[in-house]
Amino acid sequence: MKLSHRPPGPVMLDVAGLELAAEERDILQHPLVGGVILFARNYADSAQLRALTAAIRALRPGLVISVDHEGGRVQRFRDGFTRLPAMRRFGALWDADPEHARGAARQAGLVLAAELRAHDVDLSYAPVLDLDYGVSGVIGDRAFHRDPQVAAELARALAQGLAAAGLKAVGKHFPGHGAVEADSHVAIPVDHRSFDAVWAEDIVPFRVLARELGGVMPAHVIFEGIDPRPAGFSPFWLQDVLRGRLGFTGVIFSDDLTMEGASVAGDIVARAAAAQRAGCDMVLVCNRPDLAVQLLDAWQPQPTADSLARIAALRPAPGGVPGDPLTLARWAPYCEARDAVLALA
C-alpha cells in the first residue's frame, strides 16, 4: 500500500501557515496522522485556502480536513465567508418565535457547511451543546440557550442544515462545559455537581442528538464527585455514559491535548494514551508542533478497525453541493440561506 493511500490514523494535527512547509509534508504522511485542523492563520483568501486543501489532498487523499468554525467569535475564515452569528442569537430568536429560530439555525448550518465544502474542508466542530449558565466566559454566547430542550432543538436544526450540505455534526463539549467558570485552555475546571444534576441538565442535548451526531468532543472538565479524571480521559463518561447509555456510535475526538485542562494526564504521549484508553478515536494536538512530532515518534497505539472506520466515514460523500465558490454563489438553496443569515445581523 502506498503511504499516500493509507487510511486516516488517530492523530489530528495543525499546520503553521498559508501553505505547507517541507517538514509538514513529511509529517502529514506519517501513518498515525488522520487529519488536519485549520486555524485563522491558515486563511488569507478563498483561492489560497483551496490551494492549501488541494496540497493536503495531494499528499494524503483520505485525511480529514477540519476547522473550528461555529459562528460568532469562533469563526476561523472570515473575509470571503459569510459572517455567522453566535449561537446565542438563535436562542434569543427562539424566545420570540421558535419556528423562525429553527429555520434560521437550519439555514446557518447549510451556509456554514456549503462554504466549507466549496473549499474542500470536511468538518467543523459544531454545534456547541453546552448550556448558557451565564458563568463560563469561554462558552458564553457560543451556547444556544440555558434550557437544555431548547438547546437541543436549535442544535438539531443547525445539524440538519449541515447535513443538507453533506457535513456531519460534531457536538461539544460532553458532558457539558457551561456550568464552570474556569477556561480549560488555561486552567483545570472542576464541576462539583452530582451525576443526576448533570444528567438532568447538561447531558440532555447530547442524549437527544446522540444518534444524529457524527462526532462528539468531550470537555477537559473534572466532575470531581463522579470521576477524578477530566471527562476526555474518563472511561466512565466516554464508554459507560456516551457509548453505553446514550448509544453514540460516531467518532469521539479529544479536545486539544496541549490545553492546560489536559495536563493532569502527563506528557503528550501519556495524554494521547489516556484519551484513547478512555474511548477517544482521534486525538487533537494543536499549536505545538514540537509536541506533535514527539507524539508521532513515541506513541504506539493500536486503534481498532471499528475506530479507524469511524474516522474514515467522517468525510462527506462526493457531490450534493457545488464544489467551488463560484458555482456555490449561483446555487439557489445557498443563496436563499445566506440571505436569511445576513438578515439576522
> 255 catalytic, yes or no?
yes
Our separate counts of H helices and E strands in the chain read: 13, 12
**Contact predicate 209/250, CB 8 Å:** no
User: CA 255: distance to chain centroid?
Assistant: 9
Q: What phi, psi does 83 have (nearest 5°)?
A: -75, 115
What single letter denotes the amino acid at residue 300?
Answer: Q
Contact residues for 296 (Cβ-Cβ < 8 A; gap 6+): 11, 27, 30, 32, 33
Residue of 214, 205, 253 whose CA lies nearest to 232: 253
Backbone angles phi, psi at 116, to 5 degrees: -65, -45
User: From the candidates 26, 95, 185, 192, which is the catalytic residue?
Assistant: 185
Name the residue among 183, 185, 174 with its Cα closest to residue 213: 174
Asked if residues 35 and 10 have their Cβ atoms less than 8 Å apart, the reply is: no
- Report the candidate in 303, 230, 255 with the shortest Cα–Cα distance to residue 12: 255
What's the rounded Cα separation, in Å, for the pair 340 and 122? 24
Backbone torsion region of residue 265, taken as left when φ is above 0, otherwise alpha when ψ lies between -120 and 50, otherwise beta: alpha
Distance CA 226, CA 85 (A): 35
Task: Judge whether 68 counts as a catalytic residue.
Answer: no
In one-letter notation, the amino acid at residue 339 is D
What is the rounded distance in angstroms from the CA atom of residue 210 to the CA atom of residue 220? 20
Known catalytic residues are 185, 255
